[in-house]
Amino acid sequence: MKLAEDCSIEDIKAGKFVVIEGDKLRFFSLITDLRLDATTSAILQNPPDVSDDLVREVLSGTATYATVNLKPMLTTEQDKSSKDNETPERREPQPVKTVPPHFSPVYEATAADVACIFGSEDMEPKGRYFHIGTPLDMETPVCLDLHRFVERSNGIFGKTGTGKTFLTRLILSGLIRWVALGNGKVVMLIFDMHNEYGWKALKETGGTKGEVKGLRYLFGPQVAVFTLDPESSKTRQVPVDGNVVISLDQITVDDIAPLQDELRLHQTAIEAAHLVYTKFREHWLEQLIDFGEAGAIKELAEQIGANRESLAALYRKLRRIADLPFVVPSDKKPKKDIVETIMRYLQNGIHVVLEFGRQGSMLSYLLVANILARRIHEMYVNMTEQFLATMNPEKEPRQLVIVIEEAHKFLNPQAAKQTIFGTIAREMRKYYVSLFIIDQRPSGIDDEILSQIGTKIVAQLNDERDIQAVLTGVSNPAGLRSILASLDSKQQVLVLGHAVPMPVVIKVREYEECCRSISYELANYVPDVQDRLQEEEFEQMLYGSDNGANGEIFQSDVEERWREIFGEE
């Protein structure tokens, strides 16, 4: 595109959304690059006196001009009805299979253009389209199609400090809103490594610190919070629905395999673990520790035919797991299986946030996430097979979205072949389970897994390997690469993939504004909540100003308040 004389090139940015008006079609396009041109090189070799305004105006747009590279993405037929002041019909955009003719005019996209392509929150079914941001230099909402979003695994990528957590919380809010409005059949299991998704999180803006509401605060009993560290929850004065305790007989060799880097386990140690498991089955880890503490590793090695040194090294490394505060011997495990408890919440449509408290080490995170995800995936496989046997709609499982951070630890080329997360990413929606991954090092994720990611939301990345990784399996990676290079470090992301009809750069919506909008919207669906749930009174009950000098929260008080508002069920 040749830039018009009256349009400043400084107002045109890579990633901007424009429309090309062809003779028969309208082409929705992205600006991918800009450059300066001249009709002759002589004018560049001997530049005129640009301090003279008349000379500048004469040369601008004639002898010197700007060229903008466009990437047509979608087409629709020209809307003839709009010329007669009639309401235009919504037409499904089609992939580009041709190009516009010479001298076709190019315009900035309007609000109607954006709504035509990306949908609107006002469209039915209510909640399916969720506003996540606005295009560059526009105030028109860009919506994510949540129905298509949950069909596949998805990812948010960006370097540290680009707002990945806030963007994740924003999208999770949209998914819960969709369910709350009665149109979405999805449930989420969120592994909250840094305690940022449950009740509240820390916000830093312009050097000042504050708090933002978490998902439990925003959606109430539709979200359950479990913790690995009850002491941390008590210190932070937030109530929880249950404490996660892992018994030694719940840990399998497959759960140990992803910990090779953290524990510095050699491959021979993993082979020795398989030999121990073959003899003692689910009690293999407990027996290994018992033999190790009794100084009988040599005897155990002889019994199972393992290398003594490898077995001794395995014992020393796995002793760290037995010493974790939330890991208990088999004879001390709770009567209620925590995984079955979490599964009941998920089956009832209640989203689960698992906080790690002060147990946020990578060892704890990898271990617990893998154990829970593996068992829950097994349950989902059984549920899916039962549904396929009867095809009873009432038995159809809810789509489960598992949210994990530091995804490259689970999905690197070595771990992806051994962990349940690699299996989930490859199976996609076959068993109604998908992943929502958040990561700052996408180059560490297996290429096969990245190619299966349905929707990618990419913030600023500096490492060339990371940029190349996120564009794996994407058409026209060269044009999108230049767009990625121009992103701001805050609140700008490139969205591409299954949930959006074309790649688009957006300024991310403010999370606080989203919270207010959702609160008012849900209050309209449950009219008495807004009147009966006074925020000041509720905060006093939760955060302790009326619960004694030490501010301790009583779980029963919170549960009683929920019942008062939402009923016994």
User: Any residues with CB less than 8 A from the CB of 298 and at least 6 apart, and which?
Assistant: 308
pLDDT score of 567? 60
pLDDT score of 457? 92
List, as one string, the DSSP characters of 58-86. Answer: HHBTTTEEEEEEEEEEEEEE--SGGGGTP
pLDDT score of 554? 42
pLDDT score of 172? 92
pLDDT score of 106? 93
Chain centroid to CA 332: how far? Answer: 36
pLDDT score of 352? 92
pLDDT score of 523? 67
Chain centroid to CA 47: how far? Answer: 51
Kindly report whether the global pTM for this prediction surpasses the value 0.85.
Answer: no
If you average pLDDT over residues 101-120, what whole number do you get?
A: 87
Q: Give CA–CA dist 448/440, Å, rounded.
A: 18
Contact between residue 30 and residue 71 where contact means Cβ atoms under 8 Å apart: yes
Hey, what are 121's tokens? 């929150």
If you average pLDDT over residues 159-165, what whole number do you get?
A: 84
If you average pLDDT over residues 439-463, what whole number do you get?
A: 86
Mean pLDDT lowest for which of 52-56, 74-78, 323-327, 328-332?
Answer: 52-56
pLDDT score of 428? 60
Given a cut of 80, is residue 198 above it in pLDDT? yes
Q: Give CA–CA dist 438/364, Å, rounded.
A: 18
Contact between residue 189 and residue 354 where contact means Cβ atoms under 8 Å apart: yes
| Residue-wise pLDDT tens digits, 314-329 | 888 888 888 888 888 8
pLDDT score of 551? 35
Hey, what are 262's tokens? 């953290």
User: Any residues with CB less than 8 A from the CB of 247 and at least 6 apart, and which?
Assistant: 327, 328, 329, 330, 332, 333
User: Any residues with CB less than 8 A from the CB of 139 and at least 6 apart, and which?
Assistant: none
397 secondary structure, DSSP code: P
Q: Give CA–CA dist 471/434, Å, rounded.
A: 20
Residue 16 Cα distances to 9, 62, 109, 114, angstroms: 12, 25, 9, 12
Given a cut of 70, is residue 542 above it in pLDDT? no
Paired residues of 31 in beta bridges: 70
pLDDT score of 553? 41
If you average pLDDT over residues 443-469, what whole number do you get?
A: 86
Confidence band, pLDDT 50/70/90 cuts, at residue 374: confident
pLDDT score of 568? 59
pLDDT score of 88? 43
Mean pLDDT lowest for which of 280-289, 468-477, 496-505, 528-537?
Answer: 528-537
pLDDT score of 90? 47
Given a cut of 50, is residue 297 above it in pLDDT? yes
pLDDT score of 205? 54
If you average pLDDT over residues 415-434, what whole number do you get?
A: 77
3-state DSSP call for residue 380?
A: helix
Who wins on pLDDT, 353 or 136? 353
pLDDT score of 550? 34
If you average pLDDT over residues 300-315, what whole number do you get?
A: 82
Helices (H) and strands (E) in the chain, counts: 24, 21
CA 288-291-292 angle, 5° bins:
85
Q: What mean pLDDT is reported for the chain?
A: 79
Mean pLDDT lowest for which of 111-115, 194-198, 541-545?
Answer: 541-545
Confidence band, pLDDT 50/70/90 cuts, at residue 104: very high
Mean pLDDT lowest for which of 330-339, 467-476, 554-563?
Answer: 554-563
Residue 206, Cβ density class (10 Å: 0-12 exposed, 13-18 middle, ≥19 buried): exposed
Mean pLDDT lowest for which of 25-34, 40-49, 461-470, 519-528?
Answer: 519-528
What percent of the chain is predicted at pLDDT more than 70? 84
Confidence band, pLDDT 50/70/90 cuts, at residue 27: very high
| Residue-wise pLDDT tens digits, 544-562 | 444 333 334 444 555 565 5
Who wins on pLDDT, 483 or 80? 483
User: Any residues with CB less than 8 A from the CB of 7 and at least 6 apart, and which?
Assistant: none
Given a cut of 70, is residue 37 above it in pLDDT? yes
If you average pLDDT over residues 507-523, what whole number do you get?
A: 81
Given a cut of 90, is residue 20 above it in pLDDT? yes
Residue reference for tokens 């490139």 = 494
pLDDT score of 537? 46
pLDDT score of 192? 86
Confidence band, pLDDT 50/70/90 cuts, at residue 487: confident
Q: Give CA–CA dist 497/123, Å, rounded.
A: 21
Confidence band, pLDDT 50/70/90 cuts, at residue 356: confident
Q: Tell me which amino acid residue 497 is.
A: G
Given a cut of 60, is residue 532 above it in pLDDT? no
Q: Give CA–CA dist 569/564, Å, rounded.
A: 11
If you average pLDDT over residues 131-145, what whole number do you get?
A: 85
